[in-house]
Amino acid sequence: MNKKGLIFILATLICLCNPVQLPAWQDETHIAIAKAAGYAKWYNATGADMAKLKAGEIEAHNHFVSNSRKTRVTPAMVFSQIEKYDQIDPSGHLYGAIIASVREYQRRVEAGKYGQYSLGFCAHYVGDLSQPLHNIEYNAFNRKNHAAFDGVVNPEILTHLDKIRVYDIVIFSEADLARHVARIGEDARRLGYRLEFEDRILTKEEAYRQLSHSASLFRGILNFLQVPVSGIRCP
């Protein structure tokens, strides 16, 4: 193999494996999830993406899990990822990051410190959880369609919060939280691979369904942490 061929292969592998290039639901969509959940400091929900500009891979790996077609997302998987929070792992550890950020919020509050930034990170991770392409391999379909998935309802979302249907999720323990994270992650994983098979992006209706899962879970987390929720809506 000549030198140019080797360079091409290496460059291709870097593009396939580099999660730092992986975007997420766009800012307005993350804000809408937090608002629909009733989070008073909804503006913190964009912070995790901003952190990627400085923290690079250390933060980026908290935003996805590269699940294969045969992988089944389980509560055990969620718990196995907690210790990887803020570590470099090309396979990603979004599920564990959700619980890790909840723990971080609890530790800071118990120590008399400001915990809202940790909760803002949690809001962002919970939003990423419902994005189907954050739950499948970063393959050709994912790379081609990721930006389209992220922006499918973004231009209208802040004036259509009523389309995000928040349902009751009751959390009494980390075990309950892990179970719901696994449920939503598995649902998103299956949807992602189904859309790949059908070779299409998700519809607006499907997007709002996914966003409803994230908003409902974050509302459940806020209630679990006894954080007051509000009925804030965008104009």
- In the chain the domains, ranked by start, together with CATH numbers, are 28-224 (1.10.575)
For 113-169, the pLDDT digits (tens) are 999 999 999 999 999 999 999 999 999 999 999 999 999 999 999 999 999 999 999
For 40-95, the pLDDT digits (tens) are 999 999 999 999 898 888 999 999 999 999 999 999 999 999 999 989 999 999 99
The string of DSSP codes covering the chain is: --HHHHHHHHHHHHHHH-GGG---S-HHHHHHHHHHHTBTTGGGGGHHHHHHHHHTHHHHTTS-----TT----HHHHHHTGGGTTS--TT--HHHHHHHHHHHHHHHHHTT---HHHHHHHHHHHHHHT-GGGSS---HHHHHHHHHHHTSSTTTGGG-GGGS-------SSHHHHHHHHHHHHHHHHHHHHHHHHHT-PPPHHHHHHHHHHHHHHHHHHHHHTT--B------
